[in-house]
Amino acid sequence: MKNLINLILLSLIFSFSFSLAGAESFEDSAKVISRGYGSNYDEQLLNAKIAALSNVIGSFIVGDTIFNSEKDKVIQNIKEYHGGYIESYNITTIGSDYVEIEAIVKITKDNQVYVPENNEIDIEDELNNYKNKREIIDYLDNPMHAFVVKVAGIDIKPEPYTMLFKINAQVMWQPKWTSDLETFVTEFTGEGKTSQNINVNMIGRGIYRPHIDLLQVLFETKPKQSEEKMICFAKDAGDDIDACRNLAGGFMNMPPYSEMPMYVKAYDNEGEQLFSNMVMVKSTDLYESVSRNQTKKYFLTKRTFDQPAYIVYKNGIQNLSVMVNAEYGIAEKIKTIRIEAAK
């Protein structure tokens, strides 16, 4: 039993998105040790490189190559990962089914949507078309692209008939996703509508009422109601928004409520899935949906959302603790466990 627990714990450590030896941080790069498993040397080396990037930057998004026209270059660039690259690496160990490397990962500061200068195209007219905007939103409208899961630790406890796995982790936004979304809506969609006035309950304490009435008249904006969905951005939960933009029909797949579904999946040595359990994760520190006419109170102001909105708290981090039971017959086959956002 002790050997079984040690074996499972060892394999789990290699499967999560953090360094085996810890990442040594530099100003714009990090040294990391990572392993890649596969059926041959090339596959093992590739997976080790992807793991190194994931350890430093977050989830690794592989760019699609299905585009065949000039106007699609912006969409293609959104789908490619510009968050970082491997500057150099050394192979430290070659095992029977894995390769271990020590890599220097360069962190790219610019995560913006980018079209090279020598390949500039005029896409403004094309992107004024709803269908083309919707194509980009449909790609970004994917929790698998939007969220990163960082595992802090795992405890394994044997039960009478099962093995209990307790996983402590954090969910946060993929920096590339928020960067691409914010850049796209800022450049190619219209400004969303909100109405703002002072929070009389906060400012009015101890102040003569006529002054408040005058200040409110000068400060408030008139509402312009619309059913068009928009995306808003704020730094942290509880902060007033700093921007709202129309969202070409809005999200269809991003979780709309205060709990979002996540999957805990286990795989064997061949990559076959052994089980998949769905858990609901509190997400109020990451995002919030508001309806048209809903008013949110802040310290000095009140804001009414004149359109339905999805608020992204860009700096948000959500802690979670997940517990999964697996029968011994299944537990002894587990090589990796993953926590993923639901599609």
User: How confident is the model over 256-300, as pLDDT tens digits?
Assistant: 888 888 888 888 888 889 988 888 888 889 999 999 999 998 877
Written as six digits, the tokens of 256 are 């709309």
Residue range 150-174: average pLDDT?
86
pLDDT the model gives residue 251: 93
| Res 146 pLDDT > 80 | yes
pLDDT the model gives residue 262: 87
> Of the ranges 23-37, 43-57, 63-77, 247-261, which is most confident?
247-261
| Res 91 pLDDT > 80 | yes
* Percent of the chain predicted with pLDDT > 70: 69
Task: Quote the domain boundaries for residue 281.
Answer: 124-343
The reply to whether 70 and 193 lie within a common domain is no
The reply to whether 301 and 205 lie within a common domain is yes
Span of 102-106, 236-240, 330-334, 336-340 with lowest mean pLDDT: 336-340
Residue range 42-63: average pLDDT?
69
The reply to whether 194 and 322 lie within a common domain is yes
The reply to whether 262 and 273 lie within a common domain is yes
The reply to whether 153 and 168 lie within a common domain is yes
The reply to whether 108 and 130 lie within a common domain is no
pLDDT the model gives residue 291: 92
The reply to whether 62 and 160 lie within a common domain is no
| Res 101 pLDDT > 90 | yes
The reply to whether 18 and 155 lie within a common domain is no
Residue range 178-193: average pLDDT?
86
pLDDT the model gives residue 11: 41
Domain boundary among 89, 121, 153: 121
Domain boundary among 67, 91, 121: 121
The reply to whether 198 and 81 lie within a common domain is no
Domain boundary among 95, 121, 147: 121
Q: How many domains does the chain have?
A: 2
The reply to whether 47 and 160 lie within a common domain is no
Return the number of other C-beta atoms located less than 10 Å from residue 134's C-beta.
14
The residue ranking higher by pLDDT, 223 or 301, is 301
When computed from its CA atoms, the radius of gyration of the chain, rounded to whole angstroms, is 24
The reply to whether 110 and 144 lie within a common domain is no
| Res 110 pLDDT > 80 | no
The reply to whether 48 and 144 lie within a common domain is no
User: How confident is the model over 212-245, as pLDDT tens digits?
Assistant: 444 444 444 555 667 899 999 999 998 999 889 9
Per the document, the length of the chain is 343
Mean pLDDT, the chain, integer: 75
